[in-house]
Amino acid sequence: MTSPAGDPAANAVGVDAELARRPWVVGVSGASGTPYAASVLRGLLAAGLPVDLVVSRAARLTLLDETGIAWRDGPGAWPEALADWLGTSLAGWTRPDRDEVVAAVDALVRVHGADNLAAGPSSGSYPTRGMIVVPASTATVAGIALGLSKDLLQRAADVTLKEGRQLIVVPREMPFTGATLRHLVTLHDAGAVVAAASPGFYAGVADAQALVDFVAGRVLDAAGVPNVLFRRWAGELGAARTDRPRPGTVDNGTTAGSGA
């Protein structure tokens, strides 16, 4: 039997479900590095964690340039675009986990337009686990550090800081100007984690995707999200050279894709 719209019990269930959802907010800015964002998103979804995604206006251009995907925030447009983005490898072939990614997108992801300052993440009363800005352009870093809140991405980051939640900022551009370095220090001092997109090579990387996944895995580590995106240091010198993973694999031996 369907509960009436005004049924307090039914309304309470809906409120409880919303409070329990507590997504990670992921902001994608216009810096080059959309593969980092894709890997972080796949990691969050693989962990079964809900995501509220904000793609800035500049990021749409970068995504189009780096992947050929024309991003639109409309409810009828973004699910297919996100599935294509997350379900395609850097080399352009379909990932074998695409079906799982599509199912996770349908179940766990909400998308908010960058211009929608009335969206949930713009308010501190909207429950979230925290926010990851990946990649974070120098303009976005400056906007967050200065509290400009010029769009939903910056506003959500500002809310994350003021509520004392985890904010992880992943700058990719280089070299840094003095102004950008000062902005990064400001974010650090405000409680954010500054996780530069600097891959390590001790994991025996075999291809560009492994370098991307190393950065994404360390970002997820900072967020406290379990992942197997890269081979972890085990205290044995040279182990990665003698037991180098095949291209497209991760540290648990699961194939992440092939050229077939």
Residue 257 lies in a domain: no
Note the pLDDT of residue 28.
98
Residue 258 lies in a domain: no
Task: Please tell me which residue, 198 or 14, carries the higher pLDDT value.
Answer: 198
Residue 142 lies in a domain: yes
What is the domain count for the chain? Answer: 1
Residue 1 lies in a domain: no
Residue 7 lies in a domain: no
Predicted confidence (pLDDT) at residue 246 exceeds the cutoff of 70 = no
**CA dist 171 to 100, 108, 136, 150, 258, Å?**
29, 26, 5, 19, 30
**CA dist 189 to 11, 55, 132, 137, 235, Å?**
41, 26, 17, 19, 32
Domain CATH number, residue 104 = 3.40.50.1950
Please check whether residue 131 is in contact with residue 24, taking contact to mean a CB–CB distance below 8 angstroms. Answer: yes
Calculate mean pLDDT across residues 64-83. 95
Q: Strand pairing partners for 112?
A: 54
Give the range of the structural domain holding residue 46, as residue numbers without chain letter. 22-242
Predicted confidence (pLDDT) at residue 150 exceeds the cutoff of 50 = yes
Residue 49 lies in a domain: yes
pLDDT band with cut points at 50, 70 and 90 for residue 244: low
Give the integer Cα–Cα distance in Å for 33 and 37: 7
Calculate mean pLDDT across residues 54-66. 98
Q: Strand pairing partners for 26?
A: 53, 132
